[in-house]
Amino acid sequence: MTLEVRLRHAFGGFALDVAFTAPAGITVLFGRSGSGKTTIVNAVAGLLRPDAGRIALGDAVLTDTASRRFLPAHRRRIGYIFQEGRLFPHLSVRQNLRYGAWFAPKGTRGEDMARVVDLLGIGHLLDRRPGALSGGEKQRVAIGRALLSAPRLILADEPLAALDAARKSEILPYFERLRDEIAVPILYVSHSAAEVARLATTVVALEGGRVTAQGSAVEVLGDPGILPTGVREAGAVLTARVLRHHDDGVTELEAGGLSLFVPRLTRTLGSRLRIRIAAQDVILSRARPEGLSALNILAGTIAEIRAGEGQGMLVAIDTPAGRLLARITRRSSDRLALAPGVAVHAILKTVAVAPADIGAGPDP
Partner 1 sequence: MTDWLSPAEWQAVALSLRVSFWATLVSLPPGILVAYALARWSFPGRQLLNGLVHLPLILPPVVTGYLLLVTFGRQGLVGQFLDEWFGIVFAFRWTGAALAAGVMAFPLMVRAIRLAIEAVDPRLEQAAGTLGASRGWVFLTVTLPLCLPGIVAGSILAFAKAMGEFGATITFVANIPGQTQTLPSAIYTFLQVPGGQQDAARLVGVAIAVAMTALLLSEWVGRSVARRISGA
Q: Cβ of residue 21: shortest distance to partner 1, in angstroms?
A: 22
Q: In what order do the strands lie in the sheet with 60-64?
A: 14-22, 3-11, 52-57, 60-64, 69-70
Considering beta carbons, is residue 122 or 353 the nearer one to partner 1? 122
82 vs 261, beta carbon nearer partner 1: 82
Handedness of CA 92, 93, 96, 98 (dihedral sign): negative
Least separation in angstroms between CB 75 and partner 1: 8
Residue 14 or 88 with smaller CB distance to partner 1: 88
Shortest Cβ 86–partner 1 spacing (Å): 4
Residue 89 or residue 341: which is nearer to partner 1 going by CB? 89
DSSP label at residue 307: E
- Containing 295, the helix (H) or strand (E) segment is none
* CB of 107 or CB of 310, closer to partner 1: 107
Residue 204 near residue 29, CB atoms below 8 Å? yes
Amino acid at 305: I
Reduce the DSSP state of residue 32 to 3 states and report it: coil
Nearer to partner 1, 104 or 265 (CB): 104
* Residues near partner 1, by CB under 8 A: 45-47, 72-80, 82, 84, 86-91, 99-100, 102-104, 129-132, 145-146, 149
Rounded to a whole number of angstroms, the minimum distance from the CB of residue 83 to partner 1 is: 10
CA 154 vs. chain centroid, Å, equals 14
Q: How far is the CB of 155 from partner 1 (least distance, A)?
A: 8
Task: Classify 239 as helix, strand or coil.
Answer: strand
d(CA 291, CA 216): 37
Choose between 150 and 277: whose C-beta lies nearer to partner 1: 150
CA 19 to chain centre: 19
For residue 14, the minimal CB distance to partner 1 (Å) is 21
Q: How far is the CB of 80 from partner 1 (least distance, A)?
A: 4
Q: How far is the CB of 142 from partner 1 (least distance, A)?
A: 9
Q: Compute the radius of gyration of the chain from its Cα atoms.
A: 22
CA distance 179 to 161: 19
Look up residue 175 and give its DSSP letter: H
Looking at beta carbons only, is 74 or 109 nearer to partner 1?
74
The alpha-helical segments, DSSP class H, found in 200-289 are 217-221
Helix boundaries (H) for 65-184: 93-103, 113-120, 135-147, 165-181
